[in-house]
Amino acid sequence: LGELRVLLPTAQLLSAFLITVPFTPGFSAIAYTEKWVFLATFVLAVVGLVLLSAPAVQHRLIRPLLDRPRFKSLASRQILAGAVALASALVSGAQLVLSTIFGHVVGSLAAALVAGLIFLLWWWLPRRWKQAGKL
């Protein structure tokens, strides 16, 4: 569960930043559709944060663990679901920021690039390495 040392602060930082955005003077100027993208980004970031922090809270509440392998399996599923939510928030966040600054074409290209990088580095490469027996 050491992956949480990286994923959890990322989700916390993104969520904290997104909480402040609606209170900035420029937020009212963004387009209606971009507000929906913001809402999706915010919800995904919060869902990711909840899923990523859930195993720590659960571990504290059900100590001592009677079935450690089962708990690790459930925690791993929650962490993966949290990673999917966080990845989606990162993609939609990149789209929102760069669409606001450079327009929808650049925002969409950036979102596709971020999605591709996340897919490659978080899912495809690890699965490939596992299949090849390298890790």
In 3-state terms, what secondary structure has residue 2? coil
Q: Which amino acid is at 10?
A: T
Cβ count within 10 A of residue 48: 27
Q: Taking residues 40-45, what's their average pLDDT?
A: 98
The answer to whether residues 99 and 107 touch, using CB atoms and an 8 Å cutoff, is yes
Q: What is the pLDDT of residues 17-33, one digit of tens each?
A: 999 999 999 999 888 99
* pLDDT score at 4: 83
Q: Taking residues 36-61, what's their average pLDDT?
A: 95
- pLDDT bin (cut points 50, 70, 90) of residue 63 is confident
| pTM confidence score | 0.90
- pLDDT mean across residues, the chain: 93
pLDDT at 2 over 80: no
97's torsion region: left (phi>0), alpha (psi -120 to 50) or beta? Answer: alpha
Q: Which of 102, 115, 99 is nearest to 33 (CA)?
A: 99
CA dist., res. 54 & res. 48, Å (int):
10
The answer to whether residues 89 and 14 touch, using CB atoms and an 8 Å cutoff, is yes
Per the structure, how many domains does the chain have? 1
- pLDDT bin (cut points 50, 70, 90) of residue 48 is very high
Cis peptide leading into residue 64 (ω within 30°):
yes
pLDDT at 135 over 80: no
The answer to whether residues 83 and 48 touch, using CB atoms and an 8 Å cutoff, is yes
pLDDT at 118 over 90: yes
Percent helix, percent strand, percent coil in the chain, to nearest 5: 90, 0, 10
* pLDDT score at 1: 66
Structural domain including 25 reads 4-132
